[in-house]
């Protein structure tokens, strides 16, 4: 029923910091998220790309040092694409993703409370169809828990370097355009 | 003093926030041996609620039965996210008491419903797949990230959703 208390407190602390950062990053604001999808405000992309670059560089460095193991989800490409094509439009209408909905709800935004209710009902309904979903959408295309370096032979450092370069020039171009 | 001022500021640079979340993911990998994720905690909540009213049904539903124990690291992480955002909002003097309209409530409930259906079909949300998957350079994470971005942009532009 319970994991050990220290581990639960660790989860609480990690979550507290995560929620704190999301709120300070303004991504618990529905207008900021919808503006990203309208391509008017790239705050969400800036947060996510920086998190991926900083997080990824550190995790791969710690992996090389033998301190951590990766925890990669299997590439069931069909179910991921079908799920994402439902998730993306739903995120536009709700205005939050699951994590930012929890943050907005904690902050006192009442529309997010209703969002959490819908999400809980969604989880209940999905749990009835998981077996069918696995049979229909996961089994057909399963590439296993594969990473881009494993798939392509291109090392992680090159992937992060290329991503960083792209992010640097793209966001600099956006920020300069916004200034002028 | 400088730190207190930063905590009271209404918002931070998105790059600073992204870097902080990146470092937080190192912390999660090192201490919990797990990446950050949100949406599976909702399945645990459902398993707990249904377990009170229909324990036999939970036992018979593999998706709910396999997610025990209920109160795990990720469940408390989700509670922490709500508390952290509350603290950040209060420190930044952001008050949100806007009453949603009936239309907005319907939009939020339906949006939340399909959001979670999509997240569970894809086996992860913006945190578990989008950030944690992509930072590990997982194929699953990048396919999810690019697909939600493309479908979200198409939806927003198609419906010309005005941002209030």
Nearest neighbour of B18 by CB, restricted to A51, A79, A156:
A51
Identify the residue whose tokens are 């995120």: A91
- What pLDDT shows up at residue A129? 95
On chain B, the residues whose CB falls within 8 A of the CB of A146 are: 138-139
**pLDDT score recorded for residue B72:** 92
> Is the dihedral angle over the CA atoms B24, A105, A7, A72 positive or is it negative?
negative
Q: Is the pTM of this model over 0.80?
A: yes
Q: How confident is the model at residue A23 (pLDDT cuts 50, 70, 90)?
A: very high
The answer, for A161 touching chain B at a CB cutoff of 8 Å, is: no
* Token pair in block for residue A35: 């503006």
What residues of chain B score a pLDDT lower than 50?
none
Q: Which residues of A touch B42 (CB under 8 A)?
A: 98, 119-120, 122-123
Q: Judge contact between A116 and A101, C-beta under 8 A.
A: yes
Percent of chain B with pLDDT over 90: 78
ipTM beyond 0.90? yes
Domain extent for B108: 2-163
pLDDT tens digits, one per residue of A109-150: 999 999 999 999 999 999 999 999 999 999 999 999 999 999
For the beta carbon of residue B10, count every other beta carbon within 10 angstroms. Answer: 13
Whose CA is closest to B84, among A131, A118, A25, A119?
A: A25
Domain count, chain B: 1
3-state class of B92 per DSSP?
coil
């Amino acid at each position: 029923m319970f994991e050990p208390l220290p581990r639960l407190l660790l989860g609480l602390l990690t979550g507290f910091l995560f929620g704190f950062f999301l709120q300070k990053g303004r991504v618990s604001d529905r207008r900021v998220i919808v503006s990203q999808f309208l391509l008017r405000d790239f705050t969400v992309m800036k947060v996510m790309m920086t998190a991926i670059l900083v997080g990824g560089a550190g995790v791969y460095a710690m992996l090389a040092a033998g301190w951590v193991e990766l925890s990669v989800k299997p590439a069931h490409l069909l179910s991921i694409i079908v799920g994402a094509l439902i998730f993306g439009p739903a995120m536009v209408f709700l205005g939050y993703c699951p994590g930012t909905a929890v943050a907005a709800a904690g902050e006192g935004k009442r529309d997010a409370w209703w969002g959490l209710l819908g999400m809980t009902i969604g989880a209940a309904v999905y749990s009835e169809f998981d077996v069918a979903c696995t049979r229909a959408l996961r089994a057909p295309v399963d590439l296993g828990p594969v990473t881009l370096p494993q798939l392509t032979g291109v090392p992680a450092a090159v992937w992060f370097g290329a991503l960083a370069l792209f992010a640097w020039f793209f966001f600099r171009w956006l920020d300069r355009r916004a200034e002028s | 003093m400088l730190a207190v001022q930063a905590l009271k500021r209404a918002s931070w640079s998105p790059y600073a926030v992204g870097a902080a979340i990146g470092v937080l993911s190192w912390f999660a990998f090192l201490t919990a041996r797990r990446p950050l994720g949100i949406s599976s905690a909702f399945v645990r909540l459902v398993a707990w609620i249904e377990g009170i009213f229909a324990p036999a049904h939970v036992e018979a539903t593999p998706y709910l039965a396999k997610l025990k124990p209920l109160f795990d690291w990720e469940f408390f992480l989700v509670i922490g996210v709500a508390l952290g955002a509350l603290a950040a909002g209060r420190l930044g003097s952001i008050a949100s008491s806007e009453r949603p309209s009936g239309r907005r409530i319907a939009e939020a409930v339906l949006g939340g419903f399909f959001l979670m259906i999509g997240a569970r079909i894809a086996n992860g949300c913006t945190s578990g797949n989008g950030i944690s998957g992509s930072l590990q350079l997982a194929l699953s994470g990048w396919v999810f990230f690019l697909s939600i971005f493309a479908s979200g942009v198409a939806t927003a532009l198609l419906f010309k959703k005005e941002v209030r």
